[in-house]
């Protein structure tokens, strides 16, 4: 038991020392305005480096990601059908698909699926 505690303490000390050495060696000593500015072929940027991002595009991407995860949850339902009772499987999968459809209709009703206004 003592050996395990000693090894644990040594591992914590060793990892702390390695992290401290890495953080000391990784520090940049010279902070230069040109190095801190956005890269544009070595020239000063003509306009702002931050272009406005379309919120509609972001919402469509998030909705796509959510429905992609839902598809990943729907696919194993066919594998589970053979090892579960048919009635239970039907009720659970029907409720799950109903919740997904209600979410889809709600997004449609709110206008989140329309690309342009």
Tokens of 65: 């990601």
Predicted structure pTM score? 0.49
pLDDT of residue 56: 76
pLDDT of residue 95: 93
pLDDT of residue 8: 92
pLDDT of residue 1: 81
The tens place of each residue's pLDDT in the chain, 117 residues long, gives: 888 999 999 999 999 999 998 888 876 655 666 666 665 565 665 666 666 777 778 878 888 888 888 888 888 888 888 888 989 989 998 999 999 899 889 888 988 777 766
Give me Rg for the CA atoms of the chain.
27
User: Shortest CA distance to 93 belongs to which of 110, 115, 76?
Assistant: 76
pLDDT of residue 102: 92
pLDDT of residue 57: 80
C-alpha angle with apex 66: 103 to 87, nearest 5 degrees? 60
Q: Which residues of 65-97 are buried (b: 16+ CB within 10 A; e: fewer)?
A: eeeeebeeeeeeeeeeeeeeeeeebeeeeeeee
57 burial (CB, 10 Å; 0-12 / 13-18 / 19+) is: exposed
């Amino acid at each position: 038991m003592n050996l395990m505690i000693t090894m644990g303490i040594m591992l914590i000390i060793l990892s702390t020392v390695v992290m401290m050495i890495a953080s000391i060696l990784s520090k940049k000593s010279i902070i230069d305005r040109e190095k801190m500015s956005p890269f544009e072929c070595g020239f000063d940027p003509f306009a702002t480096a931050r272009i406005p991002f379309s919120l509609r595009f972001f919402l469509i991407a998030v909705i796509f990601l959510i429905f992609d995860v839902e598809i990943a949850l729907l696919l194993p339902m066919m594998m589970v059908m053979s090892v579960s009772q048919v009635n239970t499987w039907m009720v659970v999968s029907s409720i799950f698909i109903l919740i997904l459809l209600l979410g889809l209709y709600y997004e449609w009703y709110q206008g989140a699926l329309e690309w342009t206004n």
